[in-house]
Chain A
């Protein structure tokens, strides 16, 4: 069972590996956009949100007003409301100030690692470990990227662009085994997002939010209606035993 800080570091290592190419590329792009190393690293240090940082760069490059960039950042990150609300059900009770600190470290990736932990609740020490290793990787490799300018061979850069998605799949598939509800949730989430993406109905920030909420509510509705109110934490435990 994962409870300690160092187990958190270990569980967060795959995130750190996944962040390496993404942060490196961000550092490089920031440089070509005209940001200094201080400005680029400060963005990773203070904002710490990959999608919105990339978006900010492209908007800065096209001369969009700063307040509009802030608005877009908010829209892209609204999905974290859902994630941290969901996470509040999964973490051990802790003083509010402690939760307020590691809440800063909640990203798509750290959320996925914390929320898919198999047994019981997530301890505060474990959450701090996962958050710290991921955050360090993001900040350090932003600076490194700005300095060295992504001198990795092209074929390796291309291959590494899959890292974060491979990690999401690696987290999802074990939970799918023997749990049809999890399969439905993931398939519905993917299907709704694809529909919104290819029809250009919403921007990415909104469409992930709508797809997630749509799938979570729809599947819950079907299961409650069929009186199959299976608690998946219990199911996972049984599958493991």
Chain B
């Protein structure tokens, strides 16, 4: 893997950066019709749902229960009002204890 690797990397960098940069830099928010702006404001919550499921169920191959325990723990910890960092650490701790037994 010589020069072709670096050309590939350059290509990957460009096609990753452009979708990040163009909308954030050139949209101002104010110009958009209310419906479009409403949809854009919905996106964070829709994307979080799509990012969590089904991926969390498959973090260990062929072991869905592992993912379910992780998901339930994280839901409970954040529902009782813990800060995000403690939700992350607490969920890791619960799964670490679970996989030891």
Contact = CB atoms under 8 A, between A and B. Distances in A.
Answer whether A and B are interacting partners: yes
Interface in A176-230: 176-177, 181-182, 185-194, 197-198, 207-208, 211-217, 219-220, 223-224, 229
Contact of B88 (A86, A158, A166, A188): A166
Which of B4, B47, B92 counts the most A-chain CB atoms under 10 A from its CB? B47
Contact of A66 (B4, B50, B96): B4
Interface in B53-101: 53-56, 59-60, 66-67, 70-71, 73-75, 77-79, 81-85, 87-89, 91-93, 95-96, 98-100
B36 to A, nearest CB: 9
Given A162-B95, A186-B45, A192 B50 contact: yes
A138 interface: no
Specify the main secondary structure of chain A where it touches its partner.
Answer: helix
A166 B47 contact: no
Interface residues of B, number: 75
Interface of A: 13-14, 17-18, 34-35, 39, 42-43, 46-49, 52, 56, 60, 66-67, 69-70, 73-74, 77-91, 93, 96, 99-100, 103-104, 106, 108, 111-112, 115-116, 155-156, 158-163, 165-177, 181-182, 185-194, 197-198, 207-208, 211-217, 219-220, 223-224, 229, 231-233
Contacts of B59: 161-162, 165
A162 B92 contact: yes
Contact of A224 (B5, B21, B35, B99): B35
A211 B53 CA distance: 11
Interface in B1-45: 1, 4-5, 7-13, 15-17, 19-29, 32, 34-35, 37-45
Nearest to B69: A162
Contacts of B54: 190, 193-194, 197-198
A18 B59 CA distance: 14
B23 A224 contact: no
B20 to A, nearest CB: 5
A111 B41 CA distance: 12
Contacts of B67: 162
A82 B60 contact: no
Contacts of B77: 170
30 contacts: A42-B9, A46-B10, A46-B13, A73-B11, A79-B47, A82-B40, A89-B32, A89-B37, A103-B21, A155-B99, A165-B59, A165-B74, A166-B74, A166-B88, A170-B78, A170-B88, A171-B48, A185-B42, A185-B46, A190-B53, A190-B54, A193-B53, A193-B54, A211-B49, A213-B46, A215-B49, A220-B35, A229-B38, A232-B41, A233-B41
A73 B15 contact: yes
